[in-house]
Every structure is written in structure tokens, then in C-alpha cells.
Amino acid sequence: MTQVDELVRTEVIANEPAEALAAMLDIEQPTAAGGTGTVPPLWHWLYLLDRRRQRDLGPDGHPTSGIPAPPGPGRRRMFAGGRVRTLRPLVIGRPATRTVRVARAQQKQGRTGPLTFVTVRHAITQDGEPAVMEEQDIVYRAPGSATLPADPADEPVPPPRPSLRLAVDEVMLFRFSALTYNAHRIHYDHGWVREEGYADLVVHGPLQALMMAELMRREGVDLVGRQYAYRLVSPMIGPQVLTVHAAPQGLSMGAETRDAQGQVTAGSTLTALDPQS
């Protein structure tokens, strides 16, 4: 498949995407009225998107070229996690630029067959200054292989600590796909999920990562000047109510997402940035 070295996109950071995400989450928009203010941490995923032509998409809805490009025909794509360093909030009403490149790629043999791990690096600048530095980890598995198994673990019910619940149904999955320009069919096509080995629609990994960050934001934990790292440990399958809990060490250290059965599906950590990095 065709791989390019770098993608660069510049656009004005508009108010409407943040307004749309707030409406989807059924909350008041956390920016000032009239299209001013800043974009909350991780809400940058609605901006500076690679909006590909329909003819560029493969059967699964993902582009067949670009960054990253599938390592071969029919390879199944999974979002595994990432790291976001928020240096300063994006300001609404001013242009910003995103530069995307592949940082590294590695071939492995997993329990489900051959796997390709690709790390994609995103750098967003505004007014000539770095704003968001991010790495996303993508996994490609072989055609027809089973989904990656969950990490085996005994999942005790967490003790009372800050938490957040979100009712995710088919409509929300469709809306989040639209807001992030994500055409991957596992999130909205009941027929396609069987092609990739799932029993039902898959709840977006970025939505789970976003909700962990939202719990932090709503509880007054600032992600600016910190690295937010998240890992998806098990697919969240089917419409349901997901719950986000603070980490056992406290919300300032991280959070976790659990599905309706109480299984941990994603986790995150929060660390201070090294001023020399």
C-alpha cells in the first residue's frame, strides 16, 4: 500500500466542532460563548482531520494509503493507545497546523497471527508555538484472524472514588464517527463487525480515552503541561453504559474505563512533562 512521508494540514480552529461534541455528550460547551475560548484537552481530535475522498477508502472504511497505510491487503486495523502532551490549549478562532508522520513500525508474531505495530506522531502548532504533541499506536492484524484477546485479569469492583457514566448507543457511535471523520465500519455496521470477528458494534477507543480525560477535566485536574497516556486493553462490545473511575492512586494519577460487566477496557496515566524534553 502507498505510504507518504508526511501530511500537513492547516485550518482555523472553529467553535462548531466543540459545540457538536458537547451536544453529543449532552453537556454545556466548556468554552466561552460566541466562539471564543479554548479547546479542552483531547477535543483536538475533532480538528485538522485527514478528510479523504470516498475512492481512497478500503472495504473496512479506512484509507488504503496515507499515514498510516495498511501493511497489506485485508489487514484489520485496531487502535491500541497513545500518548498526548498538551503544552497549551488550542485557541478557538485562530489557525493551527498539524503535521503527521510515522514514527516507527514493527512486525511481531502474536497469539492471533502476524501483527504490525505502527506509531504515528502528530504535532500541532498554533501561532508558531507547539500546542499538542501526540503519538498514536495502531495495530494491524492478519485477514481473518480473531480479535486480540483481552488481558486476563480479575477485575474487582473499585471502591468509591470519582466516576463518570456515559450511555453509549448506536446513535452516539454514529455521531462520534462523524465528528472524528472515522469511517471504520466496526462502529456502525452490524453486518461488517462479523467480518472482523466481533459480536456487536465496537465502542471507539478514542471515545473511551476522551471520557477518561473528561472525568479529569470535570473534577478540576488540568492536563496542560502533562502527558496523558492511555492504553486500550480489551474491546468494548455493544451499546451499553460505560463507567470511568479514578485510578486507585487518585484521579491526578490516571483513570480507567469499565464496560457494563465491570471489566476494565482502557486505562490512562497522567505524568508531569520534563521541562527539558
277 domain residue, yes or no? no
The answer as to whether 2 is a domain residue is no
In a domain, 185, yes or no: yes
261 within domain boundaries? yes
**1 within some domain:** no
CATH number of 35's domain:
3.10.129.10
List the 163-168 sheet strands across, edge first.
Answer: 7-12, 95-110, 113-126, 129-141, 76-86, 226-232, 264-272, 254-258, 240-246, 163-168
User: Does residue 230 lie within any of the structural domains?
Assistant: yes
Which range of residues forms the domain containing residue 132? 7-272
Total number of domains in the chain: 1
Give the end-to-end CA distance of the chain in Å, rounded to a whole number.
34
C-alpha grid cell for residue 141?
Answer: 492484524
CA-nearest of 87, 84, 81 to 230 is: 81
Q: What is the pLDDT of residue 274?
A: 78
The verdict on residue 51 lying in a domain is yes
In the beta sheet, which residues pair with residue 168?
240
Buried b (16+ CB within 10 A) or exposed e, 51-80: eeeeeeebebbbbbebbbbbbeeebbbbbb
Q: What is the pTM of this model?
A: 0.91
pLDDT tens, the chain, 277 aa long = 455 689 999 999 999 999 999 999 999 998 755 556 999 999 999 999 999 999 999 999 999 998 888 888 888 899 999 999 999 999 999 999 999 999 999 998 877 778 999 999 999 999 999 999 999 999 998 876 555 555 544 566 666 788 999 999 999 999 999 999 999 999 999 999 999 999 999 999 999 999 999 999 999 999 999 999 999 999 999 999 999 999 999 999 999 999 999 999 999 999 999 766 5
For position 276, what pLDDT does the model report?
61
